[in-house]
Amino acid sequence: MPPKPEPTAKRGRPRDLAFEDRVFDAAVSLYGRHGLEGCGIGAIAREALVGKASVYLRWPDKVTLLRAALDARIVLDIDVDTGDLRADMRRLAEQMLRMLWTDAGLAYMRRIIDTSVHPEVFPRYAEGSPVVLAARRLVRNAIDRYQLPAGTSPTVLLDMLFGACMMHATATPAALRSTAEAHAADYLDQLVDAVLAAVTQTTNGEPRDPLLNPSRD
């Protein structure tokens, strides 16, 4: 019996390996700039220069797509509790600052608002951002190791750390962005040292006893 002929390869357009990246980048950019109302499937497809039908083949609606895009682009390493408190805080702050200087940063801040305004869109963040929850654990563990006074408020410490990063990223004029990025290491060193100094000293400048004053958080 003669051998069966090899199956003929299907012809057609080769797979676009960058398709998902282009769609995710477009979704994150549009959401950051225009919010939920400005990032429909049609708008995302036009921004990504892909077919609308092709997008619908992968994601049934804009919310499903947006959730996937934000999860793929807002990536922060939350496994940072090495025992070196200053280094761990600096690493968290650096990740936050660098991310805030990207399209994902604007989308990140937009998602914080929409978690309250449209809780049905981002229900998994109703209990808090994963990076903030991880940072709170970091602070509590540092208190348990007596690296921070027992009265240290994780809320206040993280408001100072992450709030400063958000302010620095959003308040820097566009013309000075490249300069700020070039000097980010110095800024982060000063920020972390200032936060640690603030939470480890009393109002009269004396070091706080890490074994006194039970935590309020």
DSSP for 171-208, written as a single string: HS-GGGHHHHHHTHHHHHHHHHHHHHHHHHB-TTSPBP
Quick one: what percent of the chain has pLDDT higher than 70? 84
pLDDT at 81: 87
For 122, half-sphere exposure in the C-beta direction (CA atoms, 13 angstrom radius) is 25
Query: CA torsion sign, 176 to 179 to 180 to 186?
Result: negative
Q: Please tell me the distance from the alpha carbon of residue 197 to that of residue 62, in angstroms, as a whole number.
A: 45
What CATH class does 85-200 carry? mainly alpha
Q: How many CB atoms lie within 10 A of CB 188?
A: 22
What's the confidence (pLDDT) of residue 200?
86
d(CA 188, CA 92): 10
The CATH number of domain 19-73, selected from 2.40.50.140, 3.40.50.150, 1.10.10.60, 2.60.120.590:
1.10.10.60
Residue type, 204: N
The segment(s) of the chain belonging to CATH 1.10.357 are 85-200
pLDDT tens-digit series, residues 78-115: 788 899 999 999 999 999 999 999 889 999 999 989 98
Mean pLDDT of all residues in 116-132: 82
Is the CB of residue 69 less than 8 Å from the CB of residue 103?
A: no
**Mean pLDDT, rounded, for 193-217:** 64
Q: Where in the chain is the domain with CATH 1.10.10.60?
A: 19-73
- Given a cut of 60, is residue 194 above it in pLDDT? yes
pLDDT over 60 at 37, yes or no: yes
* Contact call for residues 65 and 59 (beta carbons, < 8 A): yes
